[in-house]
Structure 1
Amino acid sequence: MCGIVGYVGEKQALEVLVDGLRRLEYRGYDSAGVAVISEGRLEVRKKAGKLVNLETLIGQDPLPQSTTGIGHTRWATHGGPTDHNAHPHVSDDGRIAVIHNGIIENFAPLRDELIAAGVMLSSETDSEIVAHLLARALPEVDQDLAAAMQSVCPRLEGAFTLVAMDPSDPSLVVGARRNSPLVVGLGEGENFLASDVAAFVDHTRNALELGQDQIVVVRADGVEVRDFAGTQVEAKPYVVDWDASAAEKGGYDLFMLKEIAEQPKAVADALRGRIDAEQRIQLDETALDDTVLRDITK
């Protein structure tokens, strides 16, 4: 399960993003990345491995100051755990940065469509195609990122959470969800997006619960929610009554209880993107041949 964090506000976005990702480390991941908007440009840093690898990279190649950004920890499905496959992904024109949790089940025909249009893909992921689709939708919707998200989401099959931003409008971050978690944190002069309240509970306990097939536009001074058809809807507000430690446990008293309850989902997440159309399990990235597999003992 990937970890997602988005921020728009007055603080330095990088600090909020890295802290949020650190609080989502319990979910398991194999790469991490962040993107911020500075002077009309996207600045992206991403690295395979643990979050400390990303922090080391940022120490060597610092990000500019910014109050708008997105961050991600990835559990590899399509494509191995490499720097290129880490999120955020950026469209070929540098216009859109996107992070994604879930599986785009029809990514193959969408990828072929983009390749036929001359797009040069830089990763093996299903996630990257969303960045290119959003960038190509913008001219058709008067350069409105939320409207582009509204146009693209119905084309996607599967379960997904998407969070995107456009450097031409640093005042907002746009998210969308279908059968994958996304929550909004409501602050004072700042707002948050995350896959889990643990990412922002130290900043605010006020949250919004998003429904299925909904898009959220997050600005520092407000939040707007609409469905995939563009109709504005009221999201359900609630107050997080756990502390940060409890939030990381998802409301369970013990991590052990949480892990027991999440075992079916953990197995499903591990197999996501690794079962082909004929229901065969594909583990190509393990590079284990039949002889090695037969020699493995419990």
Structure 2
Amino acid sequence: MGEGAGRSSDGVDRRDALKTAGAVLAASMTGMSASADAQGTRSAASAKPDKLPLGLRLQGVQHFGLTVQNMERAFSFYTEVLGGTEVMRDGDFQGERIHNTLLTGQEIEARTRGVNPRTMGIPDLRGGAQRLDVRFIQFDNVVIELLQYRDADQPMGGPRAFAEPLDHMSPAFPRMMHICFHIRDDVDFNRFIADLEAESARRGMTHVRANRVLPVTSEDERRAAPLGANSNPITEGKSDGWRLIYCTGSEGEQLEFVQALGPVKRTFDGALEARRKIVAAAR
């Protein structure tokens, strides 16, 4: 949920966009010639803010939003397991303005199909039958927002959401998104994944399961795979130095964990430095 969303009256303030958000420039931009780069930054610097290219009017990524089934469970996962810190929480959002702000497109789609919006999982914030609660969690370079839509008679932070969660969502589905966490360079990636699963299981978070790089055909085989199967190190091509694994979170959401070392680390660091120079010249 972006800035400007709020109660049915005048809304609530949101924190300014994080200046340290983890935006990186596409690697292709690192190949710009020095003369083209200089010309572009000079023209950007002389332009008024509202005349700048859209990308230079941004401050990066402010947050990733995740709609959850169980707010307290998800909050515990992202704070107590993954170590984020709470920024703020708010809730009981309802009314005409917030409904229109978030759900206009879905309402139009339901009307076009000639079906009741509730059958499509569209809550009635307008009339107050459902409510929206949010919590923001700070990590080192970005914020995650947890959202829960609930019936009005359900308590804030409870385990029952308004709509049923979507199951069997492969990462290959168009519109599917994931949250990617960056593991420190000096951390043993495979041990991190093992500890993540163990800590989550200790808390009853049975959805937290990482993939394995070896073929497995059952949950028992997945759990029995050796420690070295917990991550996939890439050692050639443009992604040389990238290590990754996909994992599901406490709500069944798609997560990724990565390390970026060696050549790929230099690629991303260079792209970030190039981005910072372009943004600094535009201010």
Instruction: Please state which band the TM-score falls in when normalised by the shorter chain.
Output: under 0.3
Task: Give the TM-score, by structure 1 length.
Answer: 0.26
Task: Give the TM-score, by structure 2 length.
Answer: 0.27
Q: Which has the bigger relative contact order, CA under 8 A and spacing at least 6?
A: 2
Larger radius of gyration: 2
Higher strand share: 1
Higher helix share: 2
